Amino acid sequence: MCHVDCFTISFFFYLSLNMRSGPVHKVWKLKVCVIRLWTVSQFARSGMKAPIEMVVLDKEGDTIQCTVKDIFVPIFEGLLAESNVYVVTNFGVALNTIKFKPTRHEFRIHFKRDTIVRPVQDSSVSLNGFNFVPFKTIQSKSKEDGYLVSKYFIRLIYDACVV
């Protein structure tokens, strides 16, 4: 979380503002909860582990996609787990131009060889990142805008709502 002009704003919003202002290299430190984590075996190269994809949530409730490339997977695979909170430093940031996106954030985070991931105990970061919308909105927009909506994600929402 960053403080700008006496207003508290989300790290991810702050990130968007700074990335649009130009190609300045910054070193950020953020505290996030991993709310979804999966591997993408279709993109695994021969002899390499599958890349890791994550959706992380900050304490303001904003989400962003993170990627661990196949060559860095051995560094992070035993450390990262869903529902855990981490302090992450020294990561790369790029425009989120992939075809299918699990978040609506315009940027994504890339873990590098020297990215530092430190587990922390912190209850101020929520363990869910729900952004509820009417089901008709999901049906009408999911095919148009390239955001991931499938029976897996719909099932997740359903399971969370059924008590």
pLDDT in tens, 11-57: 555 555 555 555 555 677 889 999 999 998 776 677 788 899 999 98
Amino acid at 138: I
d(Cα 122, Cα 140) in Å, to the nearest integer?
38
Q: Where in the chain are the domains?
A: 2-130, 132-163
Q: Name the pTM for this structure.
A: 0.64
Q: Which residues contact 67 (CB under 8 A, 6 or more apart)?
A: 51, 52, 53, 54, 108, 109, 110, 111
Asked if residue 51 lies in contact with residue 69, where contact means CB atoms within 8 angstroms, the answer is yes
Please tell me the distance from the alpha carbon of residue 124 to that of residue 109, in angstroms, as a whole number. 22
Q: Which helix (H) or strand (E) holds 153?
A: helix 151-161
**CATH architecture for segment(s) 2-130:** Beta Barrel (2.40)
pLDDT at 75: 95
140: helix, strand or coil: helix
